[in-house]
Amino acid sequence: MRLAAAAILLSVVMATGAYAQRARFREGSIPPRFAPSQMPDASMTICRLAYHSVRSEAMGIGWLTDYPYAEMNLLTRLSELTKTPVSHDDRHRPNSYVVRPTDPTLFNCPMLVASDVGTIGLAEEDLEPLRTYLLKGGFLWVDDFWGTPAWRQWSTQIGRVLPPSEYPISDIPSDDPVLRTMFSLTHVPQVTNIQFWRGVDGTTTSERGADSAQVDFRAIRDKQGRIMVLMTHNTDLGDSWEREGEDPGYFYQFSPDGYAVGIDVLLYVLTH
């Protein structure tokens, strides 16, 4: 069944077009669509966490990195490959939103995503809402941050939200349920952003050389073992969704594996 599911994934992704491939766009040029005071329905959606950047990283643009087509395309594939109801607008585009840590609408979001979090700086007023959201059952997935300085910045900031003495960061084993919800995966692939991939002619996927050679797949869990914060460090899974239609070579190398991880994680969120 899992082999059949993998074949279905590849065939569906090959056969249908996602939003980012219909036209090229300049990343960061699309204004944020903030979460409404009341969601339009009870179907699945994703909220992107808007944060303040206190440092910069090569090829990153802070919280706008991968917004909005990464989550829109991932939700599209979720609706095609599972029976999960996905929220859509009146033009039948997947609903996805932006939310700040202090927005009351944070608690309307079933899950949060954040990219380039090696640049994040949380204010004091951000800490308690994020902590409450996560401990009440919320989920945050951070992706697309590379190397030791970015990890140090992120781990320091999330440690202010969830103190490591109570909620330590740990590696996720290859047999964890988060990698078994639909596709049976043994690892998280290293995906590079499409600009880097083109610049090196596809010869490497490590954007920071030896300092990002290994993908880190890590989590912070609650007292019952549920993953509250998922971390994919030294990989850019968001680009495997966002940029899937811009280059066939990039698509074949990264998108099927990237979607397999993404759908497994979304199904974990919905069932935990």
The C-alpha atoms of residue 223 and residue 43 are separated, in whole angstroms, by 28
Count of Cβ atoms closer than 10 Å to residue 156 Cβ? 13
Q: pLDDT > 70: what percent of the chain?
A: 90
Confidence of residue 58 (pLDDT cuts 50, 70, 90): very high
Residue 163: exposed, middle, or buried by beta-carbon count in 10 A (0-12, 13-18, 19+)? exposed
**Bridge partners, residue 114, by sequence:** 142
Residue 127 reports pLDDT greater than 70: yes
Note the pLDDT tens digit of each residue in 132-183. Answer: 999 999 999 999 999 999 999 999 999 999 999 999 999 999 999 999 999 9
Q: What is the CA radius of gyration of the chain?
A: 17
**Cis ω for the linkage preceding 36 (within 30 of 0):** no
Residue 28: what pLDDT?
A: 73
CATH code assigned to 2-23+33-271: 3.40.50.12140
Mean local confidence (pLDDT), 17-33? 68
Residue 149 in 3-state DSSP?
helix
Answer whether 0.75 is exceeded by the pTM.
Answer: yes
DSSP state of 31: P
Residue pair 8/81 in contact (Cβ under 8 Å)? The answer is yes
Residue 5 reports pLDDT greater than 60: no
Which residues, 6 or more positions from 125, have their beta carbon under 8 angstroms from its beta carbon?
Answer: 101, 102
Q: pLDDT > 90: what percent of the chain?
A: 89
Residue 27: what pLDDT?
A: 74
The number of C-alpha atoms within 13 Å of 66 and in the hemisphere containing its C-beta is: 32
Domain ranges of the chain: 2-23+33-271
User: Residue 266 — φ and ψ, nearest 5°?
Assistant: -60, -40
Residue 25 reports pLDDT greater than 80: no
Residue pair 136/109 in contact (Cβ under 8 Å)? The answer is no
Residue pair 45/71 in contact (Cβ under 8 Å)? The answer is no
The C-alpha atoms of residue 113 and residue 94 are separated, in whole angstroms, by 15
- Least Cα distance to 242 among 38, 4, 21 occurs for 21
Q: At what angle do helices 147-161 and 124-135 cross, to 10 degrees?
A: 80
Count of Cβ atoms closer than 10 Å to residue 135 Cβ? 14
The C-alpha atoms of residue 271 and residue 136 are separated, in whole angstroms, by 15
- Least Cα distance to 106 among 43, 53, 167, 48 occurs for 48
Note the pLDDT tens digit of each residue in 204-262. Answer: 999 999 999 999 999 999 999 999 999 999 999 999 999 999 999 999 999 999 999 99
The number of C-alpha atoms within 13 Å of 230 and in the hemisphere containing its C-beta is: 27
Confidence of residue 128 (pLDDT cuts 50, 70, 90): very high
